[in-house]
Structure 1
Amino acid sequence: MHNPESIAVLDGYRESEQSWCELLVDLKRRGLNLAPNIAVGDGALGYWAAIRKVFPETREQRCWVHKTANVLNKMPKSVQPKAKGDLHEIWQAETKADANTAFDGFIEKYGAKYAAACDCLQKDRDVLLTFYDFPAEHWSHLRTTNPIESNFATIRLRHRKTKGSGTRRASRAMMFKLAQSASKQWRRLDSHEKITHVIEGRSFKDGILQDEIAA
């Protein structure tokens, strides 16, 4: 419970709903009886379709790193530095209300000239701000998929250097060992003891446990 862990490695078709379903169903078969409280990912449709099918209770959180890149790619380079700062104002806000205010400000500021960028941001509004309903100490872990992305970067680099990985079995073994090694560099979850409150279903608002406020 204290440290992030790699719990599954499976080969499949890129962004395939079926491949993701197979992985999630395998996790259930191996003992993951409680649905995850939150899943974090980019906009890959196959992943989210599978999550909704296998673990419909799981909350969704889109990765802010991916979303920021996707929004900025739809804007001129001259505008990107300022727009990036305005996006940071959203996900770095202290409360969900402040984040929504900054969100509205971004849409108002850039919507007329850069509608595609604003549409890209707006379509995932709710699931970009899910993290506010979890402990504030966990926000830095929930807003991005960078830790798992670093695992994939290690695997891709080795694959390119070896010009392939041989048989399917050899490829899976290599992926597992590389992912296992890379995951050792993940930093420990901040305030890990608060996971207990999340599992118990206790309520958080703007990162604060509501029972503590009542007391």
Structure 2
Amino acid sequence: MALRQELTAAIAALYARGYALGTGGNFSAVADREPLRLWMAPSGVDKGTVTAEDLILVDEDGHSTMGKVSAEASLHRAIALATGAGAVLHTHSVLGTVLSMAHGSAGYIRLQGYEMLKGLAGITTHTAAVDLPIWPNSQDMEGLAARVTPHLATAPWGFLLAGHGLYAWGRNVFEARRHVEVLEFLLAVRYHAQGYPSPSAEVTATGREADG
């Protein structure tokens, strides 16, 4: 139960930051390695209300008898297998989504010169250059997992899907959550450094939020 409580606490914290609104995002923690089984938030639920009892156990084939499995479970499994991650967290932030589209043609966004980089495991200086990969989005998650997997060993604890969101992982739930928070912070800094208007300012200027 402790692992499930750690995962739901992370989900609640990321939801509170606006990273998993509208039932968006999906989150997993490794329950067993052999065979691989993941505790995951069920698909299509409000991530702000998920409890430890709501989590479902997903087997190595992506099936569960406990609830509806997210279509992106295959990507979670691929990341856990390729990297040895103990937890994988997927968020849908506004600024990360904007930057994933703006830099999608380059295939990455460079993060360098920021003290917060040291929040990523293995980085000890702000001068480090981290190239966060950006992959084209797809509804074929099995195919996407196959394309991404060969590159996961060199990914800096995360990657973006263009127009979709951030995937980040860590050796445990605590580290994965830290990596999400650090990467989302760095993406927000890059957004403002590039001179984009504040999303709240855009809402004020138009008098309403965008539909869709």
TM range (shorter): under 0.3
Q: Which has the higher helix share?
A: 1
Q: TM-score, normalised by structure 2?
A: 0.25
Q: Which has the higher strand share?
A: 2
Q: TM-score, normalised by structure 1?
A: 0.25
